[in-house]
Amino acid sequence: MKKTYNNIRGTLDFNPAEAFSFQKVISAAEKIFQRFGYQEIILPLLEERELFIKGVGTGTDIVDRQMFKIEGKDIVLRPEGTAQVVRYYLQNSLQKRGDFHKFFYTGAMFRGERPQKGRLRQFHHLGAEAIGSDSFYVDAEMIDLSLKILEAVGVKEKELVLNSLGCKDDKDNFSRRLKADLTKHKNKLCDDCRNRLEKNPLRVLDCKKGCRSDYIKQAGGHFIDLCLKCKQDFKNLTALLGDLGIKPKTDFCLVRGLDYYTKTVFEITSSQLGAQDAIGAGGRYDNLIEDLGGPRVPAVGFALGIERILLVLGKALETKKIDVFVAVGEEELFEAGFKILTDLRKKTFSADCDYNQKSLKSQLRTAQRLGARFTVIVASDEYQRGCVALKDMDKSTQQEVKIEDLASQIIDLK
């Protein structure tokens, strides 16, 4: 028996229709990023492991369980983009070249844990980071930007969930209070949460096993733990979002699975994905740059999951269509047909032919399958007169055209 191979569990192949949808999402997003003044950066898939330990934090699922390690090295396949963009920012001392920078990126991210249902080991993010301002206007811009992208790609049903974690002091205070409160109810927590309580109490609010909902009833979230400035900023942000026509649902227990967030955190969910899954998320990270060895520079960002967007959009059916298919009536004319094909491509039409020299009927079937807008049929009678038949596949009409006029005829008919 010959052995054949399958893709690795937790990875996806994109067929032409899926790849077409994938690229449509990216190009729609790129237009919006440009409209909002974000510039693209392309960063490597590999980074130092420590970057994420310091950046994302121990006690988070990503660092404790999900990092995709390269065997025997302190290198990982990147699990997320923000810590990496900060690494790039600091490595290039961008703080010395202007006090505000805006970037976007698209690309693969990785998780090393054993893949469960719906969880991928390789997935793709579209993300943006705005580094250098603590203005809540930037938070509003980020949220608006992420929703605009989802609108542009056709995600209709979505909800924005919003919270403020407060500044570092607020987070520390809340963390302490949470630990004290929850220690009293330790027996009600799941095993994971008992562990989280020691290492990283805020994570309990992230529990997928219901420890969180019990806590909400007891403590009413942690808005009460915010300092005046953080409370005011959150109110201002909510009002500003209202002016932009955005109505968030406030969830004072939304913490997100990463340690670097401070103040604003948000999630965009869709009922089409089920209760637990977000299409995207983001927030402010005013201490991350300092934590990664830089100066104190506030920043905010978000990322959207491309596979999740595609899941919401539904099954991809469309593929990229070609302009012209060149068919030949007789085998001897293949060389002439190939010349016409080459010439059309030179004139920037997308064009193709059938290299297996099948019957005309079967070539026309291929033209249909490729979604060709026009088919050029090269047959000996007409070819001797310097002509070919040009078939408009949409209108099912056909006409004789001089080979030298072919390109301009196609442009006219289009």
Residue 162 C-beta: closest distance to Zn ion, Å = 16
Instruction: Rank residues 289 and 327 by Cβ distance to Zn ion and give the closer one.
Output: 289
Judged by the rule CB under 5 A, the positions of this chain that interact with Zn ion are 166-167, 170, 190, 193, 207, 209, 211, 227, 230
Q: How far apart are CA 263 and CA 164, in angstroms?
A: 4
Q: How far apart are CA 142 and CA 300, in angstroms?
A: 8
> Around 264, how many Cα atoms within 13 Å sit in the side-chain half-sphere?
30
Instruction: Rank residues 7 and 116 by Cβ distance to Zn ion and give the closer one.
Output: 116
Residue 316 C-beta: closest distance to Zn ion, Å = 37
First to last CA, the chain: 52
Residue 156 C-beta: closest distance to Zn ion, Å = 33
Q: Which residues contact 394 (CB under 8 A, 6 or more apart)?
A: 373
Cβ atoms 139, 284 nearer than 8 A: yes
Residue 183 C-beta: closest distance to Zn ion, Å = 14
Instruction: Rank residues 233 and 354 by Cβ distance to Zn ion and give the closer one.
Output: 233
Residue 194 C-beta: closest distance to Zn ion, Å = 8
What element of type H or E holds 123?
Answer: strand 122-131
Instruction: Rank residues 62 and 401 by Cβ distance to Zn ion and give the closer one.
Output: 62
Residue 302 C-beta: closest distance to Zn ion, Å = 21
Tell me the one-letter amino acid at 108. Answer: A
Q: How far apart are CA 137 and CA 139, in angstroms?
A: 5
Instruction: Rank residues 156 and 209 by Cβ distance to Zn ion and give the closer one.
Output: 209
DSSP string for 19-45: HHHHHHHHHHHHHHHHHTT-EE----S
Instruction: Rank residues 167 and 353 by Cβ distance to Zn ion and give the closer one.
Output: 167
Residue 325 C-beta: closest distance to Zn ion, Å = 59
Instruction: Rank residues 211 and 387 by Cβ distance to Zn ion and give the closer one.
Output: 211
Cβ atoms 327, 375 nearer than 8 A: yes
Burial of 156 (0-12, 13-18, 19+ CB in 10 A): exposed
